[in-house]
Structure 1
Amino acid sequence: MSILDIPDVFIGSTDDEHTFVILNRRIRGADRLLTEAGFTARKVHGRTVYLLPPSSPEDAHEKAGVAMYGLLAHTHDLVDLALTTRWAPQEPTPTPAPDLRFMFTGSSLTATALTEKARSLLVQHGFVLSADGTYEPPRTEESSLLSAVVRSETHAYATGVTVRVDLGIPTPGAIPPPTRPTSPPVPGGPATGPGQHRTR
């Protein structure tokens, strides 16, 4: 299973700065919600991917935010790891090298830390220093990798540690095919239960 296929909604970005949304459950009205926010539906390796072309960080942040809040009315199982939507007016442009960096390569994950605070944060979340100076997660199942990154990224933002997550997807055409069938539609009412998502 790919990390893209775990939550109901996955928001990510490619290395060439496309923002994408993948729905792993059918959500009533999601197609209209996403297209009205500026996304275009495209078939990639048998899956529907909603794409936002490269734009300014402010524009991507705004459009993805509109889409995210609309989708949260139907499910809280939403993960946003898109680099393109990380915009804050107080941050310098270009952004300097992050204190903490997560890198997905296929189904593996490594992390690097430039500061003591970032190293301490990784250790707190169970990452282990390897011989080459990178950090590895304690477990290798995709759901555990995704949870570790979401928790660590949230912690980093809360404590002022700059962070970057590289999904290892160079272009929209490299988004992998789905590894599980799409579920039936999600009911129209609000979701119950917690999800994993980044607060805007």
Structure 2
Amino acid sequence: MAFIDHHDVFVGSTTDGHTFIALNRSLPAAHRILTRNGFTAREHQDRTLYLLPPTSAPEAHDRTGQVLHELLPHTMDFADLSWTTRWMDSGPLPQTGAHIDLSDGRVTATADTDVAREVLEQHGFQRTPTGYALPGEIGERERVGIVVRAEIHLWALGHGVEVSLGFPTPDAISPAPSRVSAPAPSHPPQPAMSKRHTR
């Protein structure tokens, strides 16, 4: 499996600026909600992805926020690690304090400030010669949850976070789990979580 496969709704961004939403279980009215808000359904390697083409941050922010709001009656199991939707109507985004990379199956990070270093360590990132990393024995779903919580924490302290998922274009997004040979997760499902909102 891949990091995008563990939550009912995963929101991410490709390097070329697409916002994508992967649904990992059937949700009533999800197709209608997503397409009404400007996302286009696309079949890709046995999964249906919903894509929003590169657009302005305010538009991506508003459209994605509306989708998540309308999906709330059906699930609260969201993970949002998109960078294309980051926008604040109260002013410019905070300066980036940390960079988190999930592109190679591991979770690594670098920190630009003492505050960012402290937050990463509080959330379980361990020092490495090149920055920080989450221990490999932690399951994928838990690692996504840690990244989400660390990002929320840093935003609350006025530090922006850059998250890379390693998908240059929508064509590079991972196949659906049925196409991937991987052992079943050894940990029990974690409680549902909803992403922080600057929306």
Query: TM-score band (shorter)?
Result: 0.7 to 0.9
Partner of residue 11, structure 2: 11
TM-score relative to the length of structure 2: 0.88
Secondary structure, aligned partner of 2:96: coil
Give the Å deviation of 1:97. Answer: 6.0
Structure-1 separation of matches of 2:20 and 2:192: 23
| TM-superposition CA deviations, 1:129-156 (whole Å, max 9, x none) | 1112x10113442112101101101111
Task: Check whether the contact 1:100–1:114 (CA below 8 A) recurs between aligned residues.
Answer: yes
Q: Which residue of 2 aligns with 1:151?
A: 149
C-alpha distance in structure 1 between counterparts of 2:91 and 2:172, whole Å: 30
Match of 1:61?
A: 61
Residue 34 of structure 2: SS of its match in structure 1?
helix
2:117 paired residue number? 119
Larger relative CO (CA 8 A, sep 6+): 1 or 2?
A: 1
Instruction: State the AA in 2 paired with 1:60.
Output: A
Which amino acid in structure 2 is aligned with residue 115 of structure 1?
Answer: T
Query: Cα offset for 1:195?
Result: 2.0
Deviations 1:88-135 (A, max 9, x none): 13444xx68611110112311100000000001111111111112x10
**2:134 counterpart of 1:137:** yes
Give the deviation of 1:3 after TM superposition: 1.1
Structure 2 Cα separation of the partners of residues 130 and 112 of structure 1: 10
User: Equivalent residue for 1:75?
Assistant: 75
What value does the CA root-mean-square deviation take over the aligned residues?
Answer: 1.7
In the aligned structure 1, how far is the partner of 2:96 from the partner of 2:178? 34
Which residue in 1 is equivalent to 2:33? 33
Number of aligned residue pairs: give it.
186
Unaligned ranges ≥5, structure 1? 182-192
Give the fraction of aligned pairs with identical amino acids, expressed as a percent.
Answer: 44
Deviation for aligned residue 1:180:
4.5
Find the aligned partners of 1:11 and 1:110 in 2 and give their Cα distance: 19
TM-score by length of 1: 0.87
- Structure 1 segments, 4+ long, off by >6 Å, are none
Q: Residues 9-60 of structure 1: CA distance to partner in whole angstroms, max 9, x if unpaired?
A: 0011100000011110101111011000000000111110000000000010
Q: Is the contact between residue 76 and residue 197 of structure 1 (CA under 8 Å) also seen in structure 2?
A: no
Other-structure match for 2:42? 42
Measured in 1, the distance between the counterparts of 2:104 and 2:129 equals 21
Q: For residues 94 and 74 of structure 2, what CA distance do their matches in structure 1 show?
A: 36
Which runs of 5 or more structure 2 residues have no equivalent in the other structure? Answer: 180-190
Contact 1:72 1:78 in 2 (8 A): no
